[in-house]
Amino acid sequence: MRAVRLPPPAPVDNLRLTTLPLPPERDGWVRIRVEAFGLNRSELKLRLGLSVGVTFPRVPGIEAAGTVDAAPAGSGLVPGQKVVAMMGDMGRTYDGGYAEYTSVPLSQVIPVDTDLPWEVLGALPEMVQTGYGSLTVGLALGPGQSVLIRGGTSSVGLAAAALATWRDATVLSTTRRPDRLALLKEHGVYHPCSTPVKSRPLYASCTRTVSTPPSTSSARRPRRPRGPARPRRSRRAEQGDARAGHAPLAAGQRADGDAVSGAGPARAHTA
């Protein structure tokens, strides 16, 4: 089979198209005929040598879409069935999706019933998993709640918006390009927000769309004026004063005995 293989971490030119043996059938593993696979930032980190626990040479790819070529007895999978696979050290400790065939643990395989073209289906697994995991495990988003999605026109942002709408949540999404606001509306975003300049507050244009602006503000509140800080003295120094017969300093009193104008009750101050 043909596969893209990476020797030890190196520039992108070191990704080589090569010929490798077909992965053998293994108990508890599914061999997939790969039709499409997505590109992920994880693979960039792997190529740069920033991933932990990776062995080389390696066929990268943490996701793939295709059909079952061989499956364990009793798995419920049949040859030719459409499936996707992702994560679980795929493309890290065993060869991943950058190949015509890949073999992955049964637990990493998800059957799918879809008429989507392969080039679309191949881009979904990790993208949808990221959006779904963020909304459910990360936020426990429920019906009637609201969620703000930064970078709403990215692939993960659009997937998260669709999933949040499916969960009956109110979706706000941001984009730096005002010409993409209509795109967000088309994908079910209830409140598209434009933030074209990085220095603008987070809700710069959302407040013109949402009837009740969020109470959160990115602007800092002014600090209240403070009185002069009491000179810091360690507990050891105060114990030494007590042994020497000196009374500890009172609030608003300097070591020379003079009062400090405007001093309030003793309190801890930070610089």
pLDDT tens sequence across 7-18: 888 888 888 899
How high does pLDDT run on average in the chain? 81
61-111 residue pLDDT tens: 999 999 999 999 999 999 999 999 999 899 999 999 999 999 999 999 999
Residue 241's pLDDT band (cuts 50, 70, 90): very low
Amino acid symbol at 249: L
User: What Rg value do the Cα atoms of the chain yield, rounded?
Assistant: 30
Q: What's the pLDDT at 60?
A: 96
Q: What's the pLDDT at 11?
A: 85
Range 52-56 contact pairs with CB under 8 angstroms and sequence separation of 24 or more: 53/89, 53/92, 53/93, 54/92, 54/93, 55/93, 56/6, 56/7, 56/8, 56/9
Q: Distance between CA atoms of 65 and 125, rounded to whole angstroms?
A: 8
Let me know the angle formed at the C-alpha of 226 by 223 and 227, rounded to the nearest 5 degrees.
170
Query: With 50 as the cut, is the pLDDT of residue 269 above it?
Result: no
Query: With 90 as the cut, is the pLDDT of residue 26 above it?
Result: yes
Q: What's the pLDDT at 193?
A: 93
Residue 232's pLDDT band (cuts 50, 70, 90): low
Q: What's the pLDDT at 140?
A: 96
Q: What's the pLDDT at 266?
A: 34
Residue ranges and CATH numbers for the domains of the chain are: 2-122 (3.90.180.10), 126-209 (3.40.50.720)
Q: What's the pLDDT at 226?
A: 55
Q: Distance between CA atoms of 51 and 9, rounded to whole angstroms?
A: 10
Query: With 50 as the cut, is the pLDDT of residue 189 above it?
Result: yes
Q: For the residues 160-177, what does the mean pLDDT come to? A: 95
Q: What's the pLDDT at 134?
A: 95
Residue 197's pLDDT band (cuts 50, 70, 90): low
